[in-house]
Chains A and B, each alone.
Chain A
Amino acid sequence: MTYELNVAHLYGNLMNTYGDVGNILALNYYAKQMDVHLNVKVVSLEEDFQAADYDLAFFGGGQDFEQTIVSQDIQTKKAELTKFIESGGPVLAICGGFQLLGHYYIGANGEKLPGIGALDHYTLAQDHNRFIGDIVIKNQETGETYHGFENHQGLTYLGADERPLGNVVSGKGNNGEDGTEGAIYKNVYCSYFHGPILTRNGDIAKHLLIAALRRKFPEADFSQQEALPIPATF
C-alpha cells in the first residue's frame, strides 16, 4: 500500500455495544481499495491520546455502566482530542461517542455526566422511552441518503456551529423534534446510526478517509481515491 493512516479506536474495548467494530472493518475495506493501509490501535482507559500520533479516530457507543467510566476517563484526553478536532482531524462518533464529544449527557440514573465539550451539543434523556427502529436521513449539501438503525434514550440538541449529518426522512433522529440526525463539525461526523453506519453508508467512510489523506499528505494527488465508486450495500 502506498499510504498509511493511524487510526485511534477510542475506548474500543468499552464502547462496543452495537457492532461498532464493523465501522473499523468497513474503514479497512474501503481503505484497501484506496491503496491505504490502516494501523488501528485501541486507545482506552489510562492510555494516552496524542493528537499528533493519529490521522483518524473512531468512537463507538457503549452500555450505561461502561459509558459512565469513559465519561470520567475521557476528561484526561479532552485537551488533545479537542486539538485533534480543531486542527481538522477526522472523527466518527456514534451514539455514546457522539454524546461524549458534546457538553454533557444524562445517565441511566438521571445523573448529569460530562462530555468533553469539543462539540457544541448536549444530550438529555427520555423518560422510560427509547427511539428504536430503522431510520433514513438525507444530507442536504451532498444529496446523499443514509440508512441506519437507531436505538437510543438520549435526546441530543445541536449547537449553532454544528450541521446535522442529515435531515430525517423516516425515523426519529437526534431528538424526535427538530428533524435533525447526527452532527457534522469540521471533519467530525456524529450519528446515532448503528448498522453499523459505515457498512451501510460507504460514502461516509470515503469522506473520512479522503479527509485524513488530504490532511496528512497535502501535496499528494488523491483524484483516484476520490473517484472510487461506492456501490450500495443496503
Chain B
Amino acid sequence: MSLRSGFATFAGKSSYWFLHTFLHGGSSLPGKITLKLDPNILRTLGAKYDVIVITGTNGKTLTTALTVSVLNQKYPTILTNPTGSNMEQGIVTTFLNAKNPKTGRPLAVLEVDEANVIKVTQYIEPKAFVFTNIFRDQMDRYGEIYTTYQKILDGVALAPNATIIANGDSPIFHSKELPNPIEYYGFDDQPDQDMKAKPNTDGVLCPVCEHILHYHSLTYSNQGKYFCPNCGFERPELTYRLTKLGDQTPTSSEFEVDGHAFKIGVGGTYNIYNALAAYAVGRFMGVAPTQIARAFNGNQQVFGRQEVIDVDGKQVTIILVKNPVGLDQVLHMIGTDKEKFSLVGLLNANYADGIDTSWIWDGDFEQLTKRDIPAVITGGERYKDITFRLKVAGIPDDKHIVEPDLEKVVAEIKQVPTKRVYVLATYTAMLQMRKILATKGYIKEGLGV
C-alpha cells in the first residue's frame, strides 16, 4: 500500500468510525472522502479479493444476497455491499469497512450499478460477472436497453479474462462477441413451440439481422428460448438449466435445476431467475447442489419476505410497482394465490414514481379478469389514470371503489369481503400508505423492506 493509499484508507475508515459511532450512518461518505484523497484507492483495497460483480437492471439486490448465502456454504467470510450502495463510493466504503482477512484470498460479491461497472474494472479484474437482465425502467428516466448494455460492456472490456455468467434467456446478452468465457443459465422446462412475444414487449429484434425474434418457449417479457427464423440466431447452449417449474404461490416457488429440486420462500418467476443466477455462481465456484438447496432453504430472510400487515383482521400486503415488466410479474405472482383476494391500486406520479403514467397501460391488468376478485379499490394522486386502466381491463363498476384519499382507502380495505388484500403502489404512494398505517398503529414507522 502506497503512502497515499494508506492515508486515504485511514481517513475513510476514521470517517466511517465517526459516522457510524456518533451519527448511526455512513454508507457512502467514507468512500467519498477516501476517493478524494486517492482516486485509485479501489486498486489497493480490492487487490486482496476475488471479486464477483452482479449487474443488470432488475434483481441485482436479491441475486447478490442469494449468491452470498450460496457461496457461504463453502466460503465462510464474504464481503458484500449493502442495498443501495452499488455505485463507486458505496463500493469503496464496503471495502473500507471490511475486516482484514486472516487467511487465504477472501471473496467479495458486489452488486454494481450498470454504469459503475467500469469504475470497478478500472482497478480490479473480477473473477466473474453476473448479468441478470436488462429491462427498460420508468420511461421519463429514459435509457434504452442497448445503451444500458453498452455501459456494462464498456466495463467488461477492461476484464477480458473474467467469466461472464449471464441470463441466457435474454437475447441482448448473446448479441455481442466477447473475448470472455461465458456461461449461460435459463429456463428449459417447456416443449418447443413457435411463438412471438406480446406486441408491447421491448427488445424483440434479432441482434444479427434485425428481424423479429420468435420463441420456442417464453417465460416473461422478451425472455425465453428465442430463435430467429431468418438468420438462425438462437439462444446459446445453457450451462445451467431450469428443468422443471413446480408449484408457485405468492410466497413460495418450487423448481428443479439440472435435475436437482429446490424450494425458495418467495413467489414470482423473476425471483426464480434470481435463484437460478445464484445457483449458477455457486456451481461455478464449486458449491454442491445439496449445499445450494440448504442455502435456499435456510435463509428465508434473504428474500425480504413480503410483509403482511394486519389491518383489523385483514391481511394486507403492500407491493411496490414501478415499471411494466415488474408490474406484470407482480400481477402474475398474486394470481398464483390459491385464496380469494381483493386488490388495491395506488398511483402517484411524483419524480420518484415516474412522472409519466403511460406505463400502467403496458401492464397486463386484463389477466385479473380471469379470476373472481370481489373488490378492487383505486386511489392515489393519479387515481383517474389507474381507475380508467382497470375499467378498460374489465373490472365491473359494482366491484370497483374509487377513492383518491388514502386515509379513506384504509377504511375501505377494512370493508372488503376477503381476508387477503394486495396493495400495488408506486413508490411515493407506498410511503404515504405506510405512514398512514403507522399513524394508526398497524405498523411501526419506517420502510420495513
Contact = CB atoms under 8 A, between A and B. Distances in A.
Nearest to B363: A19
A19 B201 contact: no
A18 B356 contact: yes
B337 interface: no
Contact of B212 (A45, A196, A200): A45
A132 B205 CA distance: 27
A9 interface: yes
A196 B356 contact: no
A13 interface: yes
B388 A199 contact: yes
A199 B140 contact: no
Contact of B359 (A19, A63, A66): A19
Contacts of A228: none
A46 B361 contact: no
Contact of A14 (B139, B205, B384, B389): B205
A26 B204 CA distance: 24
A17 interface: yes
Interface string B192-227: 000011011110110000111000000000000000
B353 to A, nearest CB: 13
Given A149-B357, A149-B358, A233-B384, A12 B140 contact: no
Given A45-B211, A199-B392, A234-B384, A12 B199 contact: yes
A19 B211 contact: no
Nearest to B230: A46
Given A13-B201, A16-B200, A233-B388, A21 B211 contact: no
Contact of B210 (A19, A20, A69, A200): A69
Interface residues of A, number: 36
A195 B358 contact: yes
A35 to B, nearest CB: 18
A42 interface: yes
Contacts of A195: 357-358
A19 B392 contact: no
Interface in A1-51: 9, 12-14, 16-22, 25-26, 28-29, 42, 44-46
Contacts of A28: 392
A132 B201 contact: no
B385 interface: yes
Given A18-B356, A234-B384, A234-B385, A63 B361 contact: no
B360 interface: yes
B358 A65 contact: no
Interface residues of B, number: 35
A57 to B, nearest CB: 14
B356 A13 contact: no
A65 B172 CA distance: 13
Contacts of A18: 139, 356, 358-359
Contact of A65 (B144, B196, B389, B392): B144
Interface in A46-84: 46, 63-66, 69
Interface string B379-416: 00000110111011100000000000000000000000
Contact of B202 (A9, A16, A46, A149): A16
A199 B361 contact: yes
B284 interface: no
Nearest to A194: B358
B355 interface: yes
A21 B196 CA distance: 16
A110 B200 CA distance: 27
A19 B205 contact: no
A47 to B, nearest CB: 9
Nearest to A130: B142
Contacts of B362: 16, 19, 21-22
Contacts of B201: 13, 16
Contact of B197 (A13, A69, A130, A233): A13
B18 interface: no
Contact of B360 (A9, A17, A19): A19
A133 B140 CA distance: 9
A63 B144 contact: yes
B133 to A, nearest CB: 17
Contacts of B145: 63
Query: Considering residues A16, A46, A234, which has the most beta carbons from chain B within 10 angstroms of its beta carbon?
Result: A16
Given A16-B199, A25-B392, A42-B199, A151 B142 contact: yes
Most chain B beta carbons < 10 A, residue from A9, A25, A46: A25
A19 B361 contact: yes
A19 B204 contact: no
A151 B139 contact: yes
A13 B212 CA distance: 8
Nearest to B362: A19
Contacts of A44: 212
A194 B139 CA distance: 11
25 contacts: A16-B201, A16-B202, A17-B136, A18-B358, A19-B324, A28-B392, A29-B392, A45-B210, A46-B211, A63-B145, A63-B146, A63-B202, A64-B144, A65-B144, A65-B146, A65-B205, A66-B205, A130-B142, A195-B357, A195-B358, A199-B361, A199-B388, A233-B387, A233-B388, A234-B388
Given A14-B212, A22-B361, A234-B388, 10 more contacts: A13-B199, A17-B202, A18-B139, A20-B361, A28-B392, A45-B212, A149-B355, A151-B139, A194-B358, A233-B385
The 5 closest A-B pairs by CB, nearest first: A22-B361, A19-B361, A19-B358, A12-B199, A21-B200
